[in-house]
Amino acid sequence: MVSTDTATLYLHPDRNIALELVRATEAAAIRSYPWIGRGDKLAADGAAVDAMRAFLGTVNFEGVVVIGEGEKDAAPMLFNGEKVGNGRGPACDIAVDPIDGTSLTAAGRQNALSVIAVADRGTMLDASSVFYMDKIVTDASGKGVVDIRKPIGENLRALAAAKGKHVGELRVAVLNRPRHEQLIADIRAAGAGTRLISDGDVAGGINAARYESRIDMCVGIGGSPEGITTACAIKALGGFMQGVLAPKDDEERARGEAAGLDCDRVYELDDLVRSDNTFFVATGVTDGELVDGVRKKGPIIRTESIVLRGRSGTIRRVVADHLAEKWLDEGDL
């Protein structure tokens, strides 16, 4: 007979899921490797989606995709509501992005990742009906100090004081978009420096919460799916995060409200993901500050991944060597 304690544990994701998930992000990253720098982001994403979905089917859990592909990348698989896993094990919400940074991959630029996040079933905010989210992310120093409702200059001065730094020492990650022209100007007017990123919203948020990172804050409007995914990682890093949905028009606002979302609300970290029992796994596709990208070394393909566990606050790095002939076609070797 299974004890009550054992049965209770079985209902939730356990630590073994992490290494199973790494296999899925590794597979997606490796399959996208031949498409790096070749200018075809849909081909890269399609290869990654196929590989990730195949490996997710072997994982011991009952996963439901809350944050998926679908409309964003015209993908026919790993869509919102799709069931993944082998059906044996804990019931989970899952967020997937086979390539966060398809344009980065196509151009051969830095910071493309293959990403999976997992939490207890029913605990991830389903923000899929509103595509964009305004967010602010810092490490633990921002708790009780930073607030997305305050002007950026005020937040930077408060964060600098909490970190024991001068404002001029702060570095802020912002997506390089026309919508952020005033935000970027205000950050620089406050005396802080910017790190403009062309894509890779998830990596920007995680780097802002990592203690060894050169990034102190990540701000601005990015994808709401990426916001929820990032929140799972911030739980493990002990960082600070807030988000406000940013519908692009009245029609999207109405769609969000019909889905039960509040577009005027400041969503705190525990609103974005209500469980502390989270996993976040990312494998580098191209090189970045968070992890190295896929590298071919003779007959070997090397991947680097990061595994974050919310409940234990554990960060693991996984470097793996894969025999290239098992993964790539002869023309790719």
Establish whether 287 is an annotated binding residue: no
Establish whether 201 is an annotated binding residue: yes
User: Tokens 């916001």, residue?
Assistant: 227
Establish whether 252 is an annotated binding residue: no
Establish whether 132 is an annotated binding residue: yes
Establish whether 226 is an annotated binding residue: yes
Cβ-based neighbours of 141, under 8 Å, separated by 6 or more: 159, 162, 163, 240
Establish whether 178 is an annotated binding residue: yes
Radius of gyration, alpha carbons of the chain: 19
Tokens of 15: 């630590």
Cβ-based neighbours of 294, under 8 Å, separated by 6 or more: 29, 30, 32, 33, 36, 283, 284, 285, 286, 301, 302, 303
Establish whether 10 is an annotated binding residue: no
d(CA 145, CA 162): 8
Establish whether 195 is an annotated binding residue: no
45 touches 31 (CB < 8 A): no
Identity (one letter) of the amino acid at 245? L
Establish whether 177 is an annotated binding residue: yes
* Coil, strand or helix at 280: strand
Closest alpha carbon to 156 in 242, 216, 206: 216
272 touches 240 (CB < 8 A): no
Establish whether 97 is an annotated binding residue: yes
Establish whether 199 is an annotated binding residue: yes
Establish whether 69 is an annotated binding residue: yes
Closest alpha carbon to 284 in 46, 118, 111, 96: 111
Within a 13 Å sphere around the CA of 6, how many CA atoms are in the beta-carbon half?
3
- Element containing residue 19 per DSSP (H, E): helix 16-32
Q: Which residues are annotated as a binding site for Mn(2+)?
A: 45, 69, 97, 100, 226
Q: Which residues are annotated as a binding site?
A: 45, 69, 97, 100-102, 132, 177-179, 199-201, 223, 226
Q: Which residues are annotated as a binding site for substrate?
A: 100-102, 132, 177-179, 199-201, 223
